[in-house]
Amino acid sequence: MKETLSYQAYLKSPYKSIKHSTYFAVYDDLFARYRGKEITFVEIGVLGGGSLFMWREFLGPKARIIGIDLNPNAKKWEAEGFDIFIGSQSDKQFWQDFVKKVGKVDVVLDDGGHTYEQQIITTEMLLDSINDQGMLVVEDTHTSYMDGFGSRRYSFIEYVKCLIDKMNQRFSELNTTASDRRVWSIQTYESFVAFHIRRSASDLVSESTDNGGTDDAAMDYRYFDHDAVKSIDGLARKFNFLKYIPGARWLGAKAKNYVIVQKSKRKLKKYFSSDS
């Protein structure tokens, strides 16, 4: 922790800031690439102002640092050269007005109220307003496992899982109409989720390619150690004539999938337990 650049910047802030010890390595990993560059960095949740000075020290004088808070007292930090907006992060109209005034930004760090409503609405309202190669980072995502922040069924982490599903729907053999292309990748750490924006990559159409190399006709051994699948394949070869009967191939595929699913349930269930 102590060797990280963000921790050193944290100690130099003249005003109080509270951070968990595991956060500084994450800050360095995500934000070091922006040091010394002309970027717009938005921090949601100003509180005592200490982190604003931390980010100025960390990013350098070329960065425009914007603070957002619901407490009007945060306006005083404008005297220190920061841009401050007062409003609720769960208010869609606030975000629409913010985007009109500020335009696209490079980095958003949500360290606000940490309720699921605040985190999800902030993400939904700002994803399209992040510059290419930028990111939206939500901090303190451990609240998704705590009381007092909303319905666990609709927690921020559950929302992230839905977005991951929608990202993977971009694969050409799946239902691409259900896909989401706003985010190129989602990165997780303890208590952080980072949404990376790279539109040329996320808009790329998924399709199979072939390098034109020689095909040695290697056999697919995917289910070679699965006795039930091998038995079904053996029966299919033995009674090959059945394939001409309507529905036979469909029934064979269903039987094969059934035995694959049953084996995976037996062997993998333990990895989906909170006690594993």
CA distance 21 to 1: 7
Q: pLDDT-derived band of residue 242, with 50, 70 and 90 as boundaries?
A: low
Its pTM stands at: 0.90
State yes or no: pLDDT of 252 exceeds 80.
no
Q: How far apart are the first and last CA of the chain?
A: 29
pLDDT of residue 253: 79
State yes or no: pLDDT of 228 exceeds 80.
no
Q: Give the closest residue to 119 by CA, choosing from 192, 169, 189.
A: 192
The secondary element (H helix, E strand) that includes residue 41 is strand 40-44
In a domain, residue 175? The reply is yes
Range with lowest mean pLDDT among 17-31, 183-197, 214-228, 245-259: 245-259
Range with lowest mean pLDDT among 159-163, 200-204, 246-250, 266-270: 246-250
pLDDT of residue 123: 98
The number of folded domains in the chain is 2
CA distance 17 to 45: 11
Where does a domain end: 202, 236, 253?
A: 202
Is there a single domain that holds both residue 187 and residue 231?
no
Is there a single domain that holds both residue 124 and residue 260?
no
Is there a single domain that holds both residue 132 and residue 231?
no
What is the CATH number for 105? 3.40.50.150
In a domain, residue 95? The reply is yes
CA distance 148 to 241: 63
The secondary element (H helix, E strand) that includes residue 230 is helix 227-238
In a domain, residue 215? The reply is no
- pLDDT per position as a tens digit, 158-197: 999 999 999 999 999 998 888 999 999 999 999 999 999 9
CA diameter of the chain: 84
CA distance 152 to 155: 5
In a domain, residue 211? The reply is no
Is there a single domain that holds both residue 81 and residue 116?
yes
Percent of the chain with pLDDT over 70: 97
Domain ranges, residue 259: 227-272
Q: pLDDT-derived band of residue 275, with 50, 70 and 90 as boundaries?
A: low
In a domain, residue 144? The reply is yes
In a domain, residue 141? The reply is yes
Is there a single domain that holds both residue 47 and residue 172?
yes
In a domain, residue 35? The reply is yes
Angle at 57 between CA 35 and CA 115, to 5 degrees: 90
User: Going by C-beta distance under 8 Å and a sequence separation of 6 or more, which residues neighbour residue 32?
Assistant: 5
- pLDDT per position as a tens digit, 108-143: 999 999 999 999 999 999 999 999 999 999 999 999
